[in-house]
Amino acid sequence: MSQSISSRNIKSALAPNPAVGGQNNESSNSLGDFIQETLALTQRLFIQLQRRPSTLIAGIIQPFMWLVLFGALFSKAPAGLFGSDLSYAKFLAPGVIVFTAFSGALNAGLPVMFDREFGFLNRLLVAPLSSRYSIVAASTIYIIALSFIQTAVIIFASAILGAGLPGIVGLSAIALIVFLIVLGVTALSLGLAFALPGHIELLAVIFVTNLPLLFASTALAPLSFMAGWLQVIASLNPLTYAIEPIRYIYGHGDWAINSIVMNTPWIGFSFGSVILVLLGFDALILLAIQPLLRRRFA
């Protein structure tokens, strides 16, 4: 203990001043406060990432291995099996993009859960946050940014492995789809982080959701390969609605908003209607987690 508490200026430094911050501050406005606290909380997550980058590194290595290993698994499959003009590399890239974004988003609740368990969340809950949704907003911004980094790396790696590279409009459309699927799944995970008793339970939910949803989607094989009952499940799986339009973009340079990008056993979906389905999925999840968050944030 080389330094002790300084008595210099101690009075002015410690005197109470109710005018500091929020309520009594004339210049305060709640939107400004919300932005300030959200940015500060987001910054914390990025400082953590910068000093502990292992999650991001693993999150980039893993999809790369999916691409290489699954690509090799089916590399001798008969030509035309995955669609008339699709190589398996081209077929696989959209599945890996969406699945990687989905897994990252599904884990979004873990840091919040650990903050709860270590008591750091209490530090946030005793602060006069303009809205406690800033905690949710910060995590969402962080996860979406991470997903974009991962997506960019996968697209780049797939291009090298022979999947080709969509045009700038195609890339923007992919970004929009990734954004929509990540938003919904992140919200779901954050909702669970506040609702479940601890990280063991959250991990259990992640384990039972993650891979089954991968195999019950069109990430690795087209609908036509599947048993009838699995086709039904895959056609209800939001991941499929994210994978198929991206796959269409990879396969067709001339796609448009009304191109039929996806055929379920019942009906075909155009690009526009797939986006609407994803928006609906997000809206549903955001509505569903409201009661969970309100219970914690009341």
- The residue ranges that bind another protein (CB under 8 A) are 1-18, 20-25, 27-28, 33, 36-37, 39-41, 43-44, 47-48, 51-52, 116-120, 122-130, 197-198, 298
CA distances to 33, 173, 209 from 246, in Å: 38, 8, 22
Nearer to another protein, 283 or 295 (CB): 295
**CB of 37 vs another protein, minimal distance in Å:** 5
Angle between helices 109-118 and 168-195 (to 10 degrees): 30
**CB of 59 vs another protein, minimal distance in Å:** 18
Nearer to another protein, 101 or 112 (CB): 112
**CB of 267 vs another protein, minimal distance in Å:** 45
For residue 6, the number of C-alpha atoms closer than 13 Å in the C-beta half-sphere is 6
CA distances to 12, 45, 131, 200, 297 from 183, in Å: 46, 17, 19, 23, 20
- Residue carrying the six token digits 């090799």: 72
**CB of 40 vs another protein, minimal distance in Å:** 3
Nearer to another protein, 47 or 68 (CB): 47
Nearer to another protein, 5 or 58 (CB): 5
Nearer to another protein, 30 or 224 (CB): 30
**CB of 186 vs another protein, minimal distance in Å:** 21
**CB of 27 vs another protein, minimal distance in Å:** 7
- The alpha-carbon radius of gyration of the chain (Å, integer) is 23
**CB of 117 vs another protein, minimal distance in Å:** 7
